[in-house]
Amino acid sequence: MIKKVLLIVPPNITLASNIRRIGEPIGVLSIATYLETKGIDVEVFDMTIEGYENLKYEGDFVIYGSSKEDLEEKIKKCKPDMVGISAMFTSKEKLALNVCETVKNINPNIIIAAGGMPPTVEPLKYIESGLIDYVIMNDGEVRLHKLIENLNNKRQPDFDLDGICYKTSGETILKNPAKLNEYFGVLPYPKRKFIDMEKLFKIGKPYAPYNQGRRTGHIVASKGCPNNCIFCAAVNFVGKKIHFRTIESLNTEIEELVNKYKIQEIQFMDDNLTANKKFAMELFKSIKKYNLKWCTPNGLFFNSLDDELLETMADSGCYQITLAIESGSERMLKEVIQKHVNLKRVKHIVDKAHNLGLSVHGLFVVGIPGETLEELHQTLDFPFKNNFDSVSFSVAQAFKGSRLYEDIEKKGYKIKTQTSVNYKQTNFVIPEDSQDYVISPELLEKTVDETIEKFYDWSKTKFPKIWENKYKKFIEQHTEDEEKVKHRI
């Protein structure tokens, strides 16, 4: 009988030269909140928050989070009947499996369910590890609760739910999800009482680390992505249809963050917050009364942006927008990446944002097979020509579940085994005799690094007030990270 559930967020890993960002585990908190409404006794152990200062270096990377001993102590104290493991990104796969191994070593009878993007993309891999009893694919709130109900009612082996993978009597059962995020808009908003918010505020390095308010809260207002970017595996996790929460639910969540946690800033973690202009306008107008600063770390739906929307954003407290442009080449966007961005409108939107007092960050990806040398430089030059004040360049990675991975496999190119992710380097090898080959990986990385250094020198001179407001303030608060500000992140 499952009476007690412990949801675990594994430690995190990043390049040692990066700022160790951290925020609320929104997905896990959402699951915990939903389970609690169903009468389940649930706890959350976020190892990244609890053990943030516990560092373990592995080459160019650093792992931060609670130790194995901390985890063992938590398991023995909590005595859960079920453990839920969140592995949201490829970089966390190994760390998540390490947690599962520790749990099973303490008590092999504890049922382990895993969720997140990698388990959704490769459920059989996780089941065959022998460490995980059930994989919950895609959104986990309702599915995990239904699994618990099925187990408590002894409905096995044929569970009455979709989006699950498990093994019974030596046979692996895989039931693909029938729908994605169908309950998202009606789920209760995630409660923060399950984690140590004060510790998060004290650390003060949220997902957009150069925040304007030390007490920062993260919110997800929508899920889904209509784009089909070649390098992205997330579309298989969130689906192409965008689901929105209600304005009432979002305001109730913000009110709790303001009244209970005294937040000063919101960071919207959506990928397409402005996909529906009517929804976006209503949301931004509704949050003006809270007098909060806010930003969008992951990007916005670019083609819906216009002067009216930007003006409403600025009026409601927005201080930075992120534009995921991806490429400076129209051909690459249309024919290879398959993302709809009107490049001719970018400079106007950036300049309009600056006129309203907003800073503008750009996200770009280079090194995708099919990109010519000319198109590579079009992308590297694009932030200069279009007045971005900050930028991130990523070298393309082939993740399982993405079209890029499938294309590279079909072409027979070598894909390097990864235990962590380094967006400064590619994880696949294009042979020099291939028509896709235009530049060596070493020269590509060197070129991007030099462009980044050149860009920030240029930006510091062109936008001195933005630079001072963003980076100088951060350095004053976090002197230990001064050198990291100069690195590509």
Please give, one letter per residue, the 3-state secondary structure of 137-165: CCCCHHHHHHHHHHHHCCCCCCCCCCCEE
The predicted pLDDT at position 320 comes to 96
Correct CATH for 206-486 of 3.40.50.261, 3.30.565.10, 3.80.30.20, 3.40.50.2300: 3.80.30.20
Percent of the chain with pLDDT over 70: 98
In the chain, where the domains are located: 4-175, 206-486
pLDDT at 92 over 60: yes
Q: Which residue has the higher pLDDT, 299 or 65?
A: 65
When pLDDT is averaged across residues 228-251 and rounded to a whole number, the result is 89
Sign, CA dihedral 210-456-90-51, equals negative
Residue type, 120: T
Per the prediction, the chain carries an average pLDDT of 92
* Residue whose token pair is 């388990």: 119
- Confidence band for 44, pLDDT divided at 50, 70 and 90: very high
Q: Three-state SS for 174? A: strand
**Domains 4-175 and 206-486 agree in fold:** no
Whole-angstrom distance, CA of residue 75 vs CA of residue 435: 53
The amino acid sitting at 430 is I
**Interatomic CA distance for residues 102 and 420, integer angstroms:** 20
What letter represents residue 313's amino acid?
M
pLDDT, one tens digit per residue, over 101-138 is 999 999 999 999 999 988 998 999 999 999 999 999 99
- Which pLDDT band, with edges at 50, 70 and 90, does 181 fall under? confident
> Which strands form 82-86's sheet, in the order they lie side by side?
41-46, 4-9, 82-86, 111-115, 134-136, 164-168, 171-175
Identify which has the larger pLDDT, 478 or 269: 269
CATH of region 4-175, choose from 3.40.50.720, 3.80.10.10, 3.40.50.280, 1.10.10.10: 3.40.50.280
From residue 399, give the alpha-carbon distance in Å to each of 10, 59, 118, 448: 20, 22, 9, 21
- Summarize pLDDT for 308-334 with one digit per residue, the tens: 999 999 999 999 999 999 999 999 999
Residue 278: count other Cβ atoms within 10 Å of its Cβ. Answer: 8
Confidence of residue 474 (pLDDT cuts 50, 70, 90): confident
